[in-house]
Copies of this chain bind each other. A is one copy, B any other.
Amino acid sequence: MTKASKPSQKDIAIAAGVSQATVSFVLTHRSVENGISHDTQRRVEEAAQRLGYSPNVAAQSLRGGRTGLIGVHTYERIFPASPDHYYHQFLIGLEEEASSLGLDLVLFTSAQRSTSSRSVFEGGHNRMRLADGAVILGARKNDDELQRLADEGFPIVSVGRPSRPNPRIASVRADYRSVLLTTVDQLAELGHRRILYTGHIERLPARTERFEGYLEGCDRRGIDAGAPAWTDPMSIRGQWVADVVRSGVTAIVAETTAHAHAIHTAALAAGVHTPADLSLVCLDVSSNPGDFVPWSHIVVPRYEMGRRALHLLHRLLDDPSVAGRVDSLACEPAHLSTLAAPSSAAA
């Protein structure tokens, strides 16, 4: 119950018998550049120590024009009910990098409820402007307000490609093209000559890169890419798989885990052996990292993407020319042991 208020530089200046500017210089370790005498320095430090000084971040931020806050925006809950959430790895990467850059993360949860009591201009995405910049997570990034923020020069980095391409929005992406080239290469090496690509047609716009990488890979290796099977995973039955195999296809590239799962199950039902009769590659990440899945899949470096996103944003803060930058990270094909050479029966 002695002194309630926090000592300011002013107090220290008085206590040490110097000016406030001197205090500022000493306390921010710039005595040398400003020619503060050794003695003065010591007096200031002693006084600061004795009074228990700690700088007022608000004042520092106000002066510096930076808050040291980085917004994180998702279109879904940040802390999801299910802990093995898709975003989780990204968030770990973000936190890690933020921590080492001395930045803090703001979770814009108030914007989730559009009907919140705050006024329109305070809510919505303008609230994001209180941060120095923002990282956007989530697939449905088709947001006009986001676009507008970026256009107004607000530093934004998207994790994953924005659904509407925007040369002014920096992003960190998984390099699907390369990994699909590699995947097709591997199948080709094993002897596969006819592959089937299957996925959701409605999601094609967001996944063009995967599909195009696949086509390019097939083209390079002279593989029959066939016509993709745009189908709902629910409708995949044993008969479907049997027909596919009978048509000479020896490997399937499935866009989603749902597809891979459906195919795997249907194959079992149809007596088609995987991978002996049919090799299976899934382009989606298993939602649960620990899960064993009986097919080959692609590992998206989500943790690293999180880190890189924050890193990119950090650069963007000082250097607006980074605005359109795209950081493409290599994916790794995993679980290759679940692939096999096409069986002799297919020959």
| In the assembled complex, A319 has its CB within 8 A of some CB on chain B | no
Partner of A98 from the list B52, B101, B109, B125 (CB cut-off 8 Å) is B109
- Contact: B109 with A106, CB < 8 Å? no
What copy number does this chain have within its complex?
A: 2
Cα-based distance from A45 to B45 in the complex (angstroms): 47
Given contacts A83-B84, A110-B104, A152-B3, contact A55 B121 (CB under 8 A): no
Give chain B residues whose Cβ lies under 8 Å from the Cβ of A345.
none
- Contact: A67 with B78, CB < 8 Å? no
Given contacts A105-B109, A152-B2, contact A130 B61 (CB under 8 A): yes
- Contact: B88 with A83, CB < 8 Å? yes
Give chain B residues whose Cβ lies under 8 Å from the Cβ of A79.
88, 91-92, 94-95
Cα-based distance from A45 to B83 in the complex (angstroms): 40
Cα-based distance from A202 to B83 in the complex (angstroms): 31
Given contacts A62-B59, A62-B62, A129-B56, contact A107 B107 (CB under 8 A): yes
Partner of A6 from the list B54, B60, B122, B129 (CB cut-off 8 Å) is B129
Give chain B residues whose Cβ lies under 8 Å from the Cβ of A84.
83
- Contact: B55 with A58, CB < 8 Å? no
The interface-forming segment of A112-120, A170-178, A246-254 is: A112-120
Instruction: With both chains docked as a complex, state the minimum distance between the C-beta of A110 and any C-beta of chain B, in angstroms.
Output: 5
| In the assembled complex, A234 has its CB within 8 A of some CB on chain B | no
Give chain B residues whose Cβ lies under 8 Å from the Cβ of A347.
none
- Contact: A58 with B102, CB < 8 Å? no
Residues of A133-147 contacting chain B, CB below 8 A: none
Given contacts A92-B79, A127-B104, contact A110 B99 (CB under 8 A): yes
Encode contact with B along A205-221: 1 for CB under 8 Å, 0 otherwise: 00000000000000000
Given contacts A99-B109, A105-B107, A127-B104, contact A67 B77 (CB under 8 A): no
- Contact: B95 with A102, CB < 8 Å? no
| In the assembled complex, A197 has its CB within 8 A of some CB on chain B | no
Cα-based distance from A233 to B2 in the complex (angstroms): 46
Partner of A110 from the list B52, B102, B110 (CB cut-off 8 Å) is B102
Give chain B residues whose Cβ lies under 8 Å from the Cβ of A78.
95
| In the assembled complex, A128 has its CB within 8 A of some CB on chain B | yes
Partner of A57 from the list B3, B67, B85, B102 (CB cut-off 8 Å) is B67
| In the assembled complex, A258 has its CB within 8 A of some CB on chain B | no
| In the assembled complex, A25 has its CB within 8 A of some CB on chain B | no
Instruction: With both chains docked as a complex, state the minimum distance between the C-beta of A176 and any C-beta of chain B, in angstroms.
Output: 25
Cα-based distance from A164 to B77 in the complex (angstroms): 34
Given contacts A27-B122, A85-B83, A129-B6, contact A77 B95 (CB under 8 A): yes
Partner of A125 from the list B3, B6, B54, B121 (CB cut-off 8 Å) is B54
Instruction: With both chains docked as a complex, state the minimum distance between the C-beta of A335 and any C-beta of chain B, in angstroms.
Output: 21
Partner of A102 from the list B4, B88, B117 (CB cut-off 8 Å) is B117
| 18 pairs from A and B in contact (CB 8 Å cutoff) | A3-B152, A6-B129, A52-B121, A52-B126, A54-B122, A54-B126, A56-B62, A56-B130, A57-B61, A57-B130, A58-B61, A77-B92, A78-B95, A79-B91, A83-B88, A98-B110, A99-B113, A102-B118
